[in-house]
Amino acid sequence: MRSDRINAYYLRLSLEDGDVADGSMEESCSISSQRLCVKQFITAHSDLGTTFQEFIDDGYSGTNMERPSIQRLLKLVEQGLVKTIIVRDLSRFARNYLEAGHYLEFIFPAYGVRFISINDHYDSDDYGENPAGLDLAIRNLINEMYSKDISRKIKSAVDLKKRQGEFVYGTAPYGYKKGQAKNTIVVDDEAAIIVKRIFKLASEGKTVTEIALTLNKDHVPTPSQHLAQYRSAKYKVYTDWTWDSVKNILENRTYTGDTEAFKSHVVKIGSSRTKQIPRELREIIPGTHESIISRELYFLALQTIKSKCKKKGVSQHNPLTSRLICGCCGNTLSKGKAANKSWLCSKARYNDALECKRVRADEAQIKGILLRAIQQQCALTDTSLREQQALRKATKSEKAIVSDEIKSLQRKHSQLQNTKRDLLEAVMEDKISRQDYIQKKQVLLADEENTASKLAVLQQRLQKLYATTEQTEQVQETAKEIHQYSQISELTPEVMKALVKRVIVYPDNSIRIEWNFSSNLIPFANTAN
**Is the model's pLDDT at 76 over the cut of 90?**
yes
Please give the full DSSP string across 261-309, using - where no structure is assigned.
Answer: --SEEESSTT---EEEPPGGG--EETTSS--SS-HHHHHHHHHHHHHHH
User: Based on the domain organization, do 137 and 225 belong to the same domain?
Assistant: no
Once rounded to an integer, what is the mean pLDDT over residues 429-451?
87
- Interatomic CA distance for residues 527 and 529, integer angstroms: 6
The alpha-helical segments, DSSP class H, found in 429-506 are 434-483, 493-499
On whether residue 325 sits in a domain, the answer given is no
**Is the model's pLDDT at 331 over the cut of 80?**
yes
User: Based on the domain organization, do 256 and 146 belong to the same domain?
Assistant: no
Last residue of a domain, one of 163, 179, 199: 163
On whether residue 260 sits in a domain, the answer given is yes
User: Based on the domain organization, do 145 and 183 belong to the same domain?
Assistant: no
- Interatomic CA distance for residues 395 and 402, integer angstroms: 10
Q: Give the Å distances, CA to CA, from 7 to 80, 238, 478.
A: 12, 45, 37
Res. 313 pLDDT band, cuts 50 70 90 = very low
User: Based on the domain organization, do 147 and 19 belong to the same domain?
Assistant: yes
Read off the pLDDT of residues 379-413 as tens digits, 9 standing for 90 and up.
777 676 777 777 878 888 888 898 889 889 988 88
Question: What CATH number is given to the structural domain containing 42?
Answer: 3.40.50.1390
Share of the chain above pLDDT 70, in %: 82
Last residue of a domain, one of 101, 134, 163: 163
**Is the model's pLDDT at 66 over the cut of 90?**
no
User: Based on the domain organization, do 62 and 156 belong to the same domain?
Assistant: yes
On whether residue 388 sits in a domain, the answer given is yes
Res. 3 pLDDT band, cuts 50 70 90 = low
User: Based on the domain organization, do 158 and 262 belong to the same domain?
Assistant: no
Query: What pLDDT does 70 receive?
Result: 93
User: Which structural domain range is residue 392 located in?
Assistant: 374-487
Other C-beta atoms within 10 Å of 400: how many? Answer: 11
Read off the pLDDT of residues 124-167 as tens digits, 9 standing for 90 and up.
887 765 555 546 554 654 566 566 667 666 777 777 787 787 88
Structural domain count, the chain: 3
Query: What pLDDT does 161 receive?
Result: 82
Query: What pLDDT does 200 receive?
Result: 94
Amino acid in the structure at residue 135: D
Res. 29 pLDDT band, cuts 50 70 90 = low
Q: What mean pLDDT value characterizes the chain?
A: 80
**Is the model's pLDDT at 459 over the cut of 60?**
yes
Query: Model's pTM, two decimal places?
Result: 0.45
User: Based on the domain organization, do 78 and 148 belong to the same domain?
Assistant: yes
User: Based on the domain organization, do 411 and 450 belong to the same domain?
Assistant: yes
Coil, strand or helix at 365? helix
**Is the model's pLDDT at 351 over the cut of 50?**
yes
On whether residue 334 sits in a domain, the answer given is no
